[in-house]
A = this chain, B = another copy of it.
Amino acid sequence: MSSPLGHNFIGGQRSALGAIQLHSLDATTGEALPHAFFQATEAEVDSAAKAAAAAYPLYRNLSAERRAEFLDAIADELDALGDDFVALVCRETALPSGRIQGERGRTSGQMRLFAKVLRRGDFYGARIDRALPERVPLPRPDLRQYRIGVGPVAVFGASNFPLAFSTAGGDTASALAGGCPVIVKAHSSHMATAERVAEAVIRAAERTGMPQGVFSMVFGNGVGEWLVKHPLIQAVGFTGSLRGGNALSKMAAERPQPIPVFAEMSSINPVFVLPDALRSRGERIAAELSGSVTLGCGQFCTNPGLVIGLRSAEFSLFVEQLSAQMNDQHPQTMLNSGALVSYGKGLEHLHGHAGVRHLAGQPQQGKQAQPQLFKADISLLLNGDELLQEEVFGPTTIVIEAEDETQLRAALGGLRGQLTATVIGEADELTAHGWLLDALQEKVGRVLLNGYPTGVEVCDAMVHGGPYPATSDSRGTSVGTLAIDRFLRPVCLQNYADALLPPALQNANPLGIRRLVDGELTDRAI
């Protein structure tokens, strides 16, 4: 493996104009890694934005097939990143190599899935209303609609998925698929990883003849603000903290030209355990749930942070079993020292609250995160206590006991927007709790039955989104193919001669895509 160069990626060139040098850390030892990364200057960010804006008309007008070839080439380049790359990612993130190998496959698979979306063509949203020249009192002109990319997109990756939610992650894949050039703000906790991935994207861009400026990446801590405020940037994708997402949303809303921000932020992912299920398989649920809470050191957006049950002998037994399971879990190294500090503070707040009791877990100390279990009084939920609603990022969860279903219903009202909600129950009791399933739909992006929220499949039907504060825009998802919709906008073309129309809207339907023609979905030519 060659040493990192540490230069920014600006419109197809490497650039290091700045004086500030940054170092990535070994996530396990906390020691600085040897190679320096050059923080981008405002002029470099400006150059990247201008290169993206120059690339935009060229790139958005490439055929979907050409963009699909680009995404496939990125996927191939990612798959070709070898064992030395995996070792590097592990060093920067303290994640195990098996996880990184899996995540590499997830990230390349995501690129290939968006290539498939491009070839399928439904992303165009093609709609045709043909002219009605004889209509009275007024004729109807020929009207045709399709969707185009919104323009250059800024992407802020997450620390917890250094591949799948970062440089070439879901936001980048969906924006590139939509015809939008991308500028990534490299995550400061895995800059060497980001550089290797950006090199892979650039190789793919060169190999498939993409316009320069289709992909740029900048290093540095203060540089994100320049990016979001840059007049040529037209949308933002972000995965991270509520504070960070809110700050970017505010910046974007206060621009002379406000732009949309798709921020995936904070979720406590409540799990509801129903009595019959506890009676028939409580011990297994306790084991599975503790596994989900501590998976990846609890560093998942969909980590179950709240477990809610109904007062009963079964639930009391279940809480005992869950306590025992959580006491058996080992400490793990977190992604970076900042995450460990935040985790420690989150636990302190829980320990310090009169309505919260500690049930299991070793005292938090040292360089690793200790799994913890707490129990909170339901009044915290009923009264909308902030503490309970804030994600504690790490291997911890909080149990809550409702007196009865009436109290459970009331407590639901206090729950803020979430990425997921899970209900564990037997078939009959799920049927009897239709009201609960309905109410959860109105609060979250994904409702799971008899599963655990920590697995997030990349597919057409996935929603990794949900009402605020889970995200800044509940109409989007940051995982799955629907993510492309965030970066597309409709355009109507009126009274165009056939030859002037884009292929997606031409009479002959040369792309063979499904279109809404005069109110009927069809893939026929017209």
Contacts and interface: CB of A to CB of B under 8 A. Distances in A.
Contacts of A442: 56-57, 60, 148, 151
Interface in A463-489: 463, 465, 467-469, 472-475, 477, 482, 485, 488-489
Interface string A431-454: 100100111011011111111000
Contact of A457 (B57, B143, B500): B143
Contacts of A477: 490
B516 A460 contact: yes
- Copies of the chain in the assembly: 2
Given A116-B519, A141-B451, A494 B446 contact: yes
A107 interface: no
A53 to B, nearest CB: 10
Interface in A199-250: 249-250
Contacts of A61: 438
Given A122-B516, A457-B129, A445 B490 contact: yes
B431 A499 contact: yes
User: Which among A122, A143, A438 has the highest number of chain B CB atoms within 10 Å?
Assistant: A143
A60 B438 CA distance: 10
A473 B488 CA distance: 11
Contact of A445 (B127, B129, B137, B491): B491
Question: What size tier do the contact residues of chain A reach?
Answer: 35 or more
Contact of A492 (B148, B446, B492): B446
Contacts of A102: 137
A491 B463 contact: yes
Contacts of A514: 514, 521
A427 interface: yes
Interface in A396-454: 416-417, 427, 430-431, 434, 437-439, 441-442, 444-451
B140 A500 contact: no
A81 interface: no
A447 B122 contact: no
A19 B188 CA distance: 59
A311 to B, nearest CB: 25
Interface stretch (A252-260, A292-300, A317-325): A252-260
A375 interface: no
A477 to B, nearest CB: 6
Contacts of A438: 57, 61
